[in-house]
Amino acid sequence: MKFSSCKKFLLDTFFPQFCLSCGKEGEAICTDCFSLIEISEYLFCPFCKKPQRVLEKGTCPTHRKNALNGLFAAVSYETPLVQTLIKNFKYEPFLKILAKPLASLIVAHFLLSKKWEIFYPLEKSLLVPVPLSGFRKKWRGFNQAEEIAKILSDFFRTALISNNLVKIKTTQSQTELKEKQREKNIKGAFKVKFPEIFKNKKVFIVDDVFTTGATMEEAAKVLKQAGAKQVWGIVMARE
């Protein structure tokens, strides 16, 4: 028996996985429950309070001046199962194995919306995970946005740049703050170490959940100051 097979056998025997939704033994999320998640096939303006569908442009006319060019959001965060998956991924028990099913929601969104060609030409596109502070990454053991970005990079054959956009400011958790507080909290939190890497590139910032957009907008501003031609957001879910 190969080591990888032996390892899986031991894990399955002594630490069996159960579906987070129905409790069936086998996987952290079973195929039946996963298939019930409704995936969006459209794009909506990231900054409109009331969802406004957009077509060729990623934002509505009112928000064209924002740094973020648009957002790809796979599902609604209001879906209870989606909340369960993301919370178990980001917080204890920190189920890193959920990266694959969560990333597959994003892939499905691109396929359904027929927007996968936005990555072409591949040599002009880059995937960038929203960076974490050293403390936050050490506490979780991994950067959840980076784990998702790795899978997207493999699937779409798009280069992943993980250590050029960095977090230089310790911030309060955005989940605890209101919209204006979020903007103030995240302002000046990011820095680009080597701007030439992003010059004239189409950059896709990867994160888990999009709420007010303060984090992505701040990151997009910094990336465009570094020379990025376009900056788009990619998330698993949007509130």
pLDDT one-digit tens code per residue, 52-81: 999 889 999 999 999 999 999 999 999 999
pLDDT the model gives residue 165: 98
**What is the reported pLDDT for 175?**
76
**What is the spatial distance between Cα 163 and Cα 107, in angstroms, rounded to a whole number?**
23
| CATH 3.40.470.10 for the 39-238 domain, yes or no | no
pLDDT in tens, 35-47: 999 999 999 999 9
pLDDT for 8 equals 53
* pLDDT for res 181: 87
Average pLDDT, the chain: 91
* 139 Cβ neighbours under 8 A, 6+ residues apart: none
The pLDDT, as a whole number, for residue 190 is 96
**pLDDT value at residue 17:** 84
Q: What is the pLDDT of residues 175-201, one digit of tens each?
A: 777 888 888 889 999 999 999 999 999
CATH 3.40.50.2020 domain locations along the chain: 39-238
Q: pLDDT per residue over 94-142, tens digit each?
A: 999 999 999 999 999 999 999 999 999 999 999 999 999 888 888 899 9
Mean pLDDT of 198-225: 97
pLDDT higher than 60, residue 20? yes
How sure is the predictor about 6, in pLDDT bands with cuts at 50, 70 and 90? Answer: low
CA end-to-end distance (rounded Å), the chain: 46
Q: Let me know if 193 is exposed, middle or buried by CB neighbors in 10 A (0-12, 13-18, 19+).
A: exposed
Q: Which of 67, 73, 117, 106 is nearest to 231 (CA)?
A: 67
pLDDT digits over 90-106, tens only?
999 899 999 999 999 99
pLDDT score of 208: 96
18: Cβ contacts below 8 Å, ≥ 6 apart = 24, 25, 26, 28
pLDDT for 80 equals 95
* pTM for this entry: 0.91
